[in-house]
Chain A
Amino acid sequence: MELTRDALEIPETLKGKYEPVIGLEVHVQLRTRSKIFCGCSTRFGDPPNTNSCPVCLGLPGALPVLNREAVAMAVKAALALNCRVNSFSRFARKNYFYPDLPKGYQISQFDQPLAEHGWIEIRSEEGQAEGGPQEKGTKRIGITRLHMEEDAGKSIHDGFPDSQDKSYVDLNRSGTPLAEIVSEPDLRSSAEAYDYLTRLKQILEYLDVSDCNMEEGSLRCDANVSVRPRGQQELGVKAEIKNLNSFRYLQKALDYEIARQTQLLERGEKVVQETRLWNLEQQKTVSMRSKEYAHDYRYFPEPDLLPLAVSDAWQKEIQQTLPELPDAKRRRMVSQYKLREYDAEVLTASQALAGYYEKVAAAGADPKLAANWVMGNLLGALKAAGKQIGESPVSPEALAGLLALIQDKTLSGKMAKSVFEEMLSTSESAKTIVGRMGLSQITDSDQIRDTIRNVIAANPKQLAQYKSGKTSLIGFFVGQVMKETKGQANPQKVNELLKEELGGA
């Protein structure tokens, strides 16, 4: 069945009638130096087929030996995802034939995975209270399992003169360690799936076990999607969607697929169990394999590897390396700095950002003022310059120095903004810039009052209009006073004193 772009919109009545059920399978490359079963480098971007050896080329007789660090990283991820780590797990061969899989099987885990029974918490529309993101409810999404496996090589189907007839294969990636993280079918909308993937990625980044770079393929996502009439317990027939290699595609592909299945069911037709690919050009999912195609991976235990034993002692050792995770950090920052939930959420997006903020606060800045400046001016400027927080030309200490000048009323908010602009380009301290530019807020009441009297005297017409009831002219007077003082008068004081002077004149 074909859908037009317009058909992506499911009528509200159908949304009420059918419920999507989504589970995600996420593959994440573990950032070890060497591959999972051999000593070849895992570096990305090297010349093709230069990080390879008999093991990862699948040459006969070569034997795999498991990378200890890959296990440690997978266990670390499993613990952070609240999984139970099995003290005893096993590798298995998954047999299938594809040119980028030179052995004819992938070493994976099957019936005895490394870890099971985990969960993470996402934000959910279900039970969302009114009043913005900080009030949103949370929902626990089960993680069925986390297992280890090796990545395949890379097939290149386009871009060579004979690409019409040939596929090109680079085996540098073959044998890169992967953790596959499988969720329970607990997700009920594309938005929930998006949030799940966002939070999963965030946790993995905090753990520093993966680059999580979707463009380079170090984080990849497949989705199982089905639709059922609301209230029905039994799951509908699912389709597996592959090629969801960006957050944006994930949500679009899921929305398309949910609409497609909903319309099939509504017309009394059947959903076929199949694998579908998200096609970027056509903006739709297309069937990848015919339904007759047999999936039979004929798993069996990998005889070349010992069972994987993770002792309690080792598990404890890894547990101790876990950093403060995003949820815990967010909660702590809400209580420690009295931040709004939403602000804490933004500031804990990455450890680097949270670390930056906490340094500003530790340097004595007012926590709320610091939050506003980091989230607003700083992030805005970095985004415009295409820079990461770690590349900020303004150090946390320097930002705290600027905020101190706002807090002691040396600078108005507006003046601080121009000083900040200057700090971004020169990396000088706020004090230096204020001194050089001769900036400093005028807070002296007598000095401001003098200026106000001069301004009033110079504008008798406006004064008369003001007196006759056109009180909005106060803005005019404020503007004139600010102009006279080159923007350096404290605006609150100006307002306050103007009212006195105008009222009493």
Chain B
Amino acid sequence: MKITEKDVRYVAALAHLDLTEKETAQYVAELDSILTYVEKLNQIDTSTVEPMAQVLHKAAETDALREDRDRQGFRQEQSLGNAPESGAGHFKVAKVIAR
């Protein structure tokens, strides 16, 4: 097993998620199978390859940058269109600081 129950609970806690016993077990199995699959990549010898996070490593300076020009953003209704709850032009969420 690549993933333990402890790992799943830890990651869930960082995301402020409460998982049931059943859900925890389910995610242990699912994440484990994903990692086992991805581990196949370890069969390739990469000892002579430099670690790389982006593919366009040697792009010209200007290719990666945009000019500082602003344009109109979303209308407020558009911004809030996907929000489960909104009011007074804002997204509304459960209280995030304890009083």
- A→B interface (CB under 8 Å): 32-34, 39-42, 47-53, 57, 59, 65-71, 90, 95-99, 104, 155-157, 160, 162, 164-171, 294, 296, 298, 300-303, 305-311, 314
Contacts and interface: CB of A to CB of B under 8 A. Distances in A.
> Which secondary structure characterizes the binding site on chain B?
loop
A49 B14 contact: no
A104 to B, nearest CB: 8
A301 B57 CA distance: 13
Contact of A34 (B63, B70, B82): B70
A168 B74 contact: no
Contact of A306 (B59, B67, B74, B87): B59
Interface in B50-70: 53-54, 56-57, 59, 61-70
Contact of B79 (A52, A96, A164, A296): A52
A199 B71 CA distance: 35
B14 to A, nearest CB: 6
A471 B82 CA distance: 89
Contact of B54 (A39, A160, A307): A307
Given A169-B91, A307-B54, A307-B57, 9 more contacts: A39-B70, A50-B79, A68-B62, A157-B97, A160-B88, A167-B97, A168-B87, A306-B56, A306-B57
Given A156-B90, A168-B88, A169-B91, A33 B64 contact: no
B89 A66 contact: no
Chain A binding site: helix, strand, loop or mixed by DSSP? loop
Contacts of B46: none
Contact of A49 (B61, B68, B91, B94): B91
17 contacts: A40-B73, A48-B89, A49-B74, A50-B76, A53-B74, A57-B74, A66-B64, A67-B68, A68-B67, A69-B67, A97-B16, A98-B96, A157-B96, A165-B94, A166-B93, A294-B10, A303-B53
A194 B60 CA distance: 42
B44 interface: no
B93 A49 contact: no
A99 B91 contact: yes
A40 B76 contact: no
B76 A68 contact: no
A170 B90 contact: yes
Given A53-B73, A156-B90, A303-B53, A166 B67 contact: no
B19 interface: no
B91 A68 contact: no
B65 A99 contact: no
B15 to A, nearest CB: 5
